[in-house]
Structure 1
Amino acid sequence: MHHAEPVVLLLVLVAGLVVLANKLKVPYPVLLVLGGLALSFVPFLPVIRLDPNLVLFFFLPPLLYPAALFTSWRDFRRNLRPILFLAIGLVLLTMTVVAWVAHLIIPGLPWAAAFALGAIVSPPDAVAAEAILKRLRVPARIQAVLGGESLVNDATALVAYQFAVAAMVTGQFSLGGASLRFVLVGVGGVALGLLVGVVMRWIQRQLDDPPVQITVSLLTPFAAYLLAERFSVSGVLAVVAAGVYLGWHSTALSARTRLQAQAFWEMVAFLLNGFIFIMIGLQLPGILRNLSHEPL
């Protein structure tokens, strides 16, 4: 099989399953995962292994950025308290409960590993939640709160996961030091994201060509993420801060550019989400086989 054929097959499968999900009125992420799972049993398909670092860099920034770019800053600011409660408080609470249960039912599981597991599963999936909310009559304020929470919860979980992994490696953990580091990582990420947003806004204002302006927009989440990672702060919050800032100041761009940018980012988000859910299904059998050989 030619190397390009699996990619084309995945695109066709994503489009077909999304159409089917709309007809069946079920969240399309569910069908995409099931479709990927079914595809994993096709014998001639090559085994695809994804590098987690590759996924974090190439998928997470361009998925977070359009969600932040098209978020209403007024709604975000008005609902900041419940958003932070859900995105930080509830995620940390869920992580703690999962860690406690895992430590209880898995003999010999270290607390650090249990908290790492809790951090992995604690943030809810924004795409699945959005697909469900579209079919329910949910008040606009609740939608705004859940949308804002989905922008921040990944940052909370990633930072908590990094702390848990560090505790596993070093065997040491300080709640006071971790709390201070958590605040510094968050504030630093937001500050660098705003800096990238200011620079990118200035660049876009010097241009009068929608394709070039959209190209600058495409580079923005990667620039924010890389800069934040270089300074060891939250890349997720940097991307979100840059997106919210540029979305708030998007009226400086022409209507033509804004319309083209919205269509472009909707397509990017659709393709990346579809590919990720298909890949989850494709890799499930291998993950389960590996787990079956791992001692508890």
Structure 2
Amino acid sequence: MHQQLPFILALIAAIVLIEMLASRLRIAYPVLLVVAGLLISFIPGLPVVKIDPNMIFFIFLPPLLFDASWSISFKEMKKWWRIIGSFAFLVVLFSAFAVAILTNYFIPGFTIVLGFLLGGIVSPPDAVSTGAIMKFVKMPKSTVAILEGESLLNDASSLIIFKFALIAIGTGQFIFHEALLDFSWMIIGGIGIGLLFGWLFLQAHKRLPTDASSDIVLTLIEPYFLYWVAEQTHSSGVLAVVSGGLFLSTRRLFFLNSASRIKGYSVWESFIFVLNGIVFMIIGLELPEIVDGLRADGVALHTAIIYGALVTLILIAARTISSYAALLATLLFRPGVAPHRGNRRRMFRIPLLLGWTGMRGVVSLAAALAIPITLHGEPFPHRSLILFITFVVILLTLLIQGLTLPYIIKRFDFAGYTNDIPEEEAKLEVRNKLVIETVRLLKDLHKKGLCGDLHLLYMIEQWERKLDQPERQRLSDESKRNYLELLEQQRIFLGELNKNPELDEDIVRLQIYQIDLEEERIKLF
């Protein structure tokens, strides 16, 4: 392990540098990470990256899903639950079915069950890739909510297909009523375990004398624990993590204090960034070993590339067809909620956007690597080919869809396809409501006998001034620059002041931390 440590550290450093380059080039960093991993894999003398297939899900999936469940708006999920549910389950099933039928027809020796296994692997779009791209372009909030909600649930549906296909390959049979019972238990058990243990973790945060550090450590443990318990009971670990994460995220204000939230956000952001970076790097680093496996199986490289390109086209077509089918179903059964009914051109372009946001990534790679190497003592059939097709699908969808999606969004002006309140206007409305409520609360305190509190009276005057002069709440760009420069000068002054050996450094650090919080507050204006 100590021999590979320098390579792992260098890999993490490369991930950071590549993310910087991606930000400069305004390209989604997963695209560059995959290409970089592929290029690095050709450097002679580097250690071979090997991950235990039995551990791949447990290492990467729980924290990635848990973080996604904390980031999403549960309110928006409820609002768009019909289309989210259809994309997360029906579209995944349709995509897996299409892959199974066509691979069985085109690939010699590829059975329907192996096709479903491959379909379950490559069906779920990757939320990380889409999220990285959305940093550089504006999309309607409804579309973002649908994509985020879908990404939380489609992992579960695709992995259920994956597991049933593995069982069918291992046993050589598929008993429908048993599969239906197992499927029901995986869903009900996974959600139930997530909610139960989510509630227990909530009580632990509330009742134990935790501080920010212990709260953050608990949140790091929770996704792994939820996943492990669910898998031990043969239910869905993915659904357990998602349901438990959603349960806790909607109650974060009631069991985490401000310090835990501020520090936890930074810790989780860095942790997830490293996990994502490693996974996308592994996608590229694994290719030479996968190609060696293809050669050992006697499959020509150009033939495998054609198969991968074919599966990619199938997936893009299936998702696009499903998007338009969902729109038509909405027009037939619920025309009142159909988007942009007054503008048919816009209405029929929205499914194109949803269909083109199908980049594959982390979950597909994890599922492919989790295929057992042997089955009943014999090599797993077509394992190397499935891995290679998965790699090609990930690479092509990242490069083709990932690089063209920003252009498509700008070309068709999807950012304008929204009736959402402009962001600045919405921020100002929230601030005004907050000011009104704050003045009311302060006056209530004043009436309760605190009239002698001069600081309270001063606060009432300040907040009433904000209410009477709302334009002063908004800083101009020049004012913001000047204020941020002032804060930087304050930090420099404190750094110089800290050179005094008699001054307690903790006090200086506390002042700098408060300045940091103020800077973050100003950046939100």
Provide TM-score, normalisation by structure 1: 0.96
Structure 2 equivalent of residue 269 of structure 1 = 272
Which of 227, 250, 253 aligns to 1:251? It is 253
Between the aligned partners of 1:275 and 1:34, the Cα distance in structure 2 is 13
Secondary structure of the structure 2 residue equivalent to 1:167 = helix
Between the aligned partners of 2:53 and 2:149, the Cα distance in structure 1 is 25
Specify the structure having the higher radius of gyration (Cα): 2
Residue 152 of structure 1 contacts residue 237 of structure 1 at CA under 8 Å; is this kept in 2?
yes
Give, as a single letter, the amino acid of the residue that structure 1 aligns with 2:40: L
Query: Which stretch has the larger CA shift, 79-88 or 129-138?
Result: 129-138
Off by >3 Å, runs of 4+ in structure 1:
174-177
Residue 116 of structure 1 contacts residue 164 of structure 1 at CA under 8 Å; is this kept in 2?
yes
Structure 1 equivalent of residue 175 of structure 2 = 174
Structure 1 equivalent of residue 292 of structure 2 = 289
Structure 2 equivalent of residue 139 of structure 1 = 140
Structure 2 equivalent of residue 24 of structure 1 = 25
Residue 207 of structure 1 contacts residue 213 of structure 1 at CA under 8 Å; is this kept in 2?
no
Q: 1:176, CA displacement in angstroms?
A: 4.4
Alignment of 1:198-217 (within 5 A): 198-205=199-206, 206-217=208-219
Residue 194 of structure 1 contacts residue 238 of structure 1 at CA under 8 Å; is this kept in 2?
yes
Secondary structure of the structure 2 residue equivalent to 1:172 = coil
Secondary structure of the structure 2 residue equivalent to 1:59 = helix
Higher relative contact order (CA 8 A, sep 6+): 1
Residue 70 of structure 1 contacts residue 244 of structure 1 at CA under 8 Å; is this kept in 2?
no
Secondary structure of the structure 1 residue equivalent to 2:204 = helix
Q: Which runs of 5+ in 1 are unaligned?
A: none
- 1:179-217 Cα deviation digits (max 9, x unpaired): 342222111101001111101111111234110011111
Q: 1:70, CA displacement in angstroms?
A: 2.5
Between the aligned partners of 1:133 and 1:3, the Cα distance in structure 2 is 35
Query: Which stretch has the larger CA shift, 173-182 or 118-127?
Result: 173-182
Secondary structure of the structure 1 residue equivalent to 2:286 = helix
- 1:218-269 Cα deviation digits (max 9, x unpaired): 1100110011011000000100111101101101121121111111111111
Structure 1 equivalent of residue 108 of structure 2 = 107
Residue 88 of structure 1 contacts residue 153 of structure 1 at CA under 8 Å; is this kept in 2?
yes
Structure 2 equivalent of residue 156 of structure 1 = 157
Between the aligned partners of 1:66 and 1:128, the Cα distance in structure 2 is 15
Matched, 1:234 2:236: yes
Structure 1 equivalent of residue 281 of structure 2 = 278
Matched, 1:127 2:113: no
Residue 76 of structure 1 contacts residue 144 of structure 1 at CA under 8 Å; is this kept in 2?
yes
- 1:142-192 Cα deviation digits (max 9, x unpaired): 101110111111111111011111111222113444334222211110100
Q: 1:19, CA displacement in angstroms?
A: 0.8
Between the aligned partners of 1:2 and 1:233, the Cα distance in structure 2 is 38
Q: 1:295, CA displacement in angstroms?
A: 4.6
Q: 1:108, CA displacement in angstroms?
A: 2.4
Between the aligned partners of 1:83 and 1:183, the Cα distance in structure 2 is 19
Q: 1:119, CA displacement in angstroms?
A: 0.7
Count of aligned positions: 296
Between the aligned partners of 1:135 and 1:175, the Cα distance in structure 2 is 46
Between the aligned partners of 2:238 and 2:261, the Cα distance in structure 1 is 23
Matched, 1:223 2:222: no
Secondary structure of the structure 1 residue equivalent to 2:54 = helix
Between the aligned partners of 1:186 and 1:221, the Cα distance in structure 2 is 17
Give, as a single letter, the amino acid of the residue that structure 2 aligns with 1:240: V
Between the aligned partners of 2:19 and 2:178, the Cα distance in structure 1 is 46
Structure 1 equivalent of residue 72 of structure 2 = 71
Between the aligned partners of 1:164 and 1:60, the Cα distance in structure 2 is 20
Between the aligned partners of 2:155 and 2:115, the Cα distance in structure 1 is 18
Secondary structure of the structure 2 residue equivalent to 1:53 = coil
Residue 4 of structure 2 contacts residue 47 of structure 2 at CA under 8 Å; is this kept in 1?
no
Provide TM-score, normalisation by structure 2: 0.55
Between the aligned partners of 1:134 and 1:62, the Cα distance in structure 2 is 21
Between the aligned partners of 1:32 and 1:73, the Cα distance in structure 2 is 31
Residue 37 of structure 1 contacts residue 282 of structure 1 at CA under 8 Å; is this kept in 2?
yes
Identity value in percent = 38
Matched, 1:59 2:48: no
Q: 1:135, CA displacement in angstroms?
A: 2.4
Secondary structure of the structure 1 residue equivalent to 2:55 = helix
Residue 88 of structure 2 contacts residue 151 of structure 2 at CA under 8 Å; is this kept in 1?
yes
